[in-house]
Structure 1
């Protein structure tokens, strides 16, 4: 079954990779399953309640399926997911843009950073940089409602 793209991104999907001022966005694909699984399970206490009960009890196989789904959605221009890396290339979190289905010009942005001492400051910086990047990159204005861990 072929997924249909979101109408906001039919002709202009977002880049798979990007370099922001303080971060690099790289593809969140099945090839990164080991690295992603280590980050997600290591940050489970940070992610608690951000996406319902996930990642409680997450297995490597389930994570592989999740990454394959994210990859498929990205390829279809339906939703967009990236690994967030610091300037040294270290995996420090993820960013997602989920356009609202059945509505144009609106999306939900989710960001999380592993449990670092300066995590809240990094989240603020990442959200600001992503907001700037989306404003310059999105095919037309999209209002992004931001979500991030409260823990």
Structure 2
């Protein structure tokens, strides 16, 4: 099992973005606020995950978050926080624009092929799906990624329905 000590003493990894790129820790995008995902979000994030388990398995595959314990979740969050610090991957808590309700998460990670230089994954709680929040989040993320981040060809999961962003 991975320990927090291992997280703090892991070998250096190649940064995902250039050193001179100022990675946003907090940002307001239309309809949402993003904050770097940290252990401070543990309880709210865990609640969002377990209340949306079927939805998340449909988006990301049958494995996660089945069987996720609070301890394993805290370890995962610590790892996301460390990756952010090391600039190898960036996880964000997605909050409602006008309040501190955690609606879901967004992840900006290295692309998994030579075709995509980044992969942007995102989700919202199951209870937010009927309102169209997931589609609005995807569109707002695509605009933000295009306007701010140094990527040429990001891939979005789930796929975007926006004509502005590339569909992959």
User: Does the alignment reach a TM-score above 0.5?
Assistant: yes
Point out 4+ residue stretches in structure 1 off by more than 6 angstroms: none
Structure 1: which 5+ runs fail to align?
A: none
**Higher-Rg member (1/2):** 2
Q: Does the C-alpha gap of structure 1 residues 104 and 11 become closer, same or farther in structure 2, counting only changes over 3 Å?
A: farther
Which residue number in structure 2 is paired with residue 69 of structure 1? Answer: 79
What is the root-mean-square deviation in Å for CA atoms of aligned residues?
2.3
TM-score normalized with structure 2 length: 0.78
Question: Number of paired residues?
Answer: 148
* 1:132 matches 2:143: yes
TM-score normalized with structure 1 length: 0.86
5 Å-filtered alignment, 1:57-136, equals 57-87=67-97, 88-100=99-111, 106-116=117-127, 118-119=129-130, 121-136=132-147
- C-alpha displacement at 1:128, in angstroms? 1.1
Which residue number in structure 1 is paired with residue 20 of structure 2? Answer: 11
Structure 2: which 5+ runs fail to align?
A: 1-9, 160-168
- Could you say which structure has the greater relative contact order, defined with CA pairs below 8 angstroms and 6 or more residues apart? 1
